[in-house]
Chain A
Amino acid sequence: MSGPTLEQIAKGDGLALCAAGSWTARFAPALEQIVAEAEKLTGSRPNIFIDVSQVSKLDTFGAWLIERLRRTLTHGGIEAQIAGLSANYASLVGEVRRVEPAGPPAASESAILGVLDRIGRAIYGVGDTFFALIGMMGAVLTAWLRVFVRPSTFRLTSTVHHLQQVCWNAVPIVVLITFLIGCIVAQQGIFHFRKFGADVFVVDMLGLLVLRELGVLLVAIMVAGRSGSAYTAELGSMKMREEIDALRTMGFDPIEVLILPRMIALVIGLPILTFLGGMAALYGGGLVAWLYGGVDPEAFLSRLRDAISINHFLVGMIKAPVMALVIGIVACVEGLAVQGSAESLGQHTTSSVVKGIFLVIVMDGVFAIFFASIGI
């Protein structure tokens, strides 16, 4: 296959541009240069025409470049002509002749304005998020009340399925991580308390920290990363493929069918995981205290009994369902906000996890203030 050429042949006061060779996509970079060169001839002669009879192969790239050359060469009211067009190629050139020249590119805005614009939208978006969360909370609550009134509409199978996904399948990783954290906290505690000869207080620290704060916080963060993101991705891809619209048109309420079972699974599952996580952390801590700190299990348990009251345990457990609610609501709002593209799905999944974790920590702070003020 021979490359493309464009020869200039003077004919009287006119000029013939003789195209030859293969004017196809394969040679597009070369073609572009050839045509750019030839476009400089505009107006140099009163009569310029393009002869394509020698072209061996033509495709849309070639046809467009010839057409573009013709348009550029059209000058001073004299239209440049294309000569030697075979019947086959004429229809192709006819196709590209319909192309309107590209408009000027959109003016790009200044960088500072762009930044301000983004900050403005982000701040504005906080309000939107807040209202969306409240709205979803209300919708879930009314769906729950409806189910309460007519228990036959409750989707038990779906709820159990999600409970398995959220809770049962998460047990190994949650237990493992909290166990390790328990070990680390105990080791650090012993290491530093030993300087004051206060080794045994590590049990107080471990019990308080794990049961009140760390256990539930860790588990909630893990669940936000694990199940919150899954909820968002599931709902988001269902939204993308119009599955949610289909549900709605069949007379189902998506909140009732999709979201309520997920929320219930989360609200039941997170306290269970918190409990298991707390136990695993105490177990890990106890093990380290025994092997590394020399606090034997009997001493550990009796110390724990003195240091910890049932209130500490309850403080942790009460927080769990509330955090589950927050994680679930955020995940579902983000899932339903997904637009048509894969990128949007990714963005909303990310923001579901980020917002979920952020709100979990904020909630923890609010609880701390609350419990402090009622003196627990």
Chain B
Amino acid sequence: MVPGNSNPIISVNGLTVAFGQRHVLDGLDLDVSRGEILGFVGASGAGKSVLMRTIIGLVPKVSGNIEVFGIDLDAADSSERRGVERRWGILFQHGALFSSLSVRQNIQFPIREYLKVSDRLLDEITIAKLAMVGLKPEVAERFPSELSGGMIKRVALARALALDPEIVFLDEPTSGLDPIGAGEFDELVRTLQRTLGLTVFMVTHDLDSLHTACDRIAVLGDGKIIAQGTMDDMLASQHPWLREYFHGKRARAVLV
């Protein structure tokens, strides 16, 4: 899919975000088209998480305009907002599981909120979601503090997918997963994209994911998008940071 698609599902225009005097994002423009998997890269501390959190409305912006599903969330009333929130799923960088709920309750929480279905179906869907992210049904009864780092990521993903959303925001989904798990994860994202037409906004440092799962890559630097395009565009770019990133030692090991 090409950038500048006529009907973007997320569109960000002239976004500026600052903490105190320090501008983290500075006049950023970004469009995400329906059904694509966008990989989002940038140096640590460049503001990737901040951009994601701003799009979903957790961080206040100084100026700019954000539309999701064609709805400007600043102008939307609360029922419109809820409508939008039901259609996206979010995986936070640190999981953000509810620590006093078990894995089962964590996954069922959003479903219970929005759908009136029987407990039997809830339990079955929970197990299905867990299976999709590669976890055994036994895990359902455990509490977040009893999970490994990678399992927390997977459960958080299962919760993000609980309502079969149209967009998922993933903040470093494969960090903390073993390479096999990360590979399965990329495969899962692909499957969901194909079958559900899922749009994926994925912040990642995982070159493998960028290579195998993403349709398009956007690069954040100095508070702006400094480059976007396919993996091949990235590899061909002459930008020094991009050359370092995609042609460094680690990148060569992955991409050859």
Contact = CB atoms under 8 A, between A and B. Distances in A.
A29 B124 contact: no
B155 to A, nearest CB: 14
B118 A60 contact: no
A60 to B, nearest CB: 6
Interface string B112-147: 000111101101110111011000010000011110
Interface stretch (B41-49, B191-199, B202-210, B221-229): B191-199
Contacts of B164: 24-25, 59-61
B36 to A, nearest CB: 16
Nearest to B190: A91
Interface string A332-364: 000000011111100000000000000000000
A60 B194 contact: no
Contacts of B124: 64, 68, 99, 101-102
Given A88-B194, A88-B195, A102-B137, A29 B131 contact: no
A61 B125 contact: yes
B13 interface: no
A341 B191 contact: no
- Say what secondary structure dominates the interface of chain A: helix
Interface string A34-63: 000000000000000000000000111100
Interface string A89-102: 10110011011111
B125 A64 contact: yes
A179 B196 CA distance: 68
B183 to A, nearest CB: 16
A63 to B, nearest CB: 8
A99 B195 CA distance: 18
Contacts of A240: 99, 145
A339 B191 contact: no
B115 A25 contact: yes
A6 to B, nearest CB: 16
B6 interface: no
Contact of A95 (B115, B118, B132, B145): B132
Contacts of B127: 99-100, 102
B163 interface: yes
A353 B123 CA distance: 39
A91 B194 contact: yes
A89 B127 CA distance: 19
A89 B197 CA distance: 11
Contacts of B163: 25
A60 B99 contact: no
Contacts of B78: none
Given A95-B131, A96-B128, A32 B121 contact: yes
B121 A341 contact: no
Contact of A98 (B115, B131, B161): B131
A10 interface: no
Contact of B128 (A32, A89, A99, A343): A99
A296 B189 CA distance: 84
B196 A92 contact: yes
A292 to B, nearest CB: 51
A176 interface: no
Contacts of B145: 240, 339-341
11 contacts: A28-B117, A29-B116, A29-B117, A58-B195, A61-B164, A64-B125, A95-B132, A96-B132, A99-B127, A102-B123, A341-B145
Given A68-B124, A103-B137, 6 more contacts: A32-B117, A60-B132, A64-B125, A95-B128, A102-B137, A340-B146
Give the 7 A-B residue pairs with the shortest CB-CB distance, closest first: A340-B145, A343-B100, A59-B164, A341-B99, A92-B195, A341-B100, A25-B164
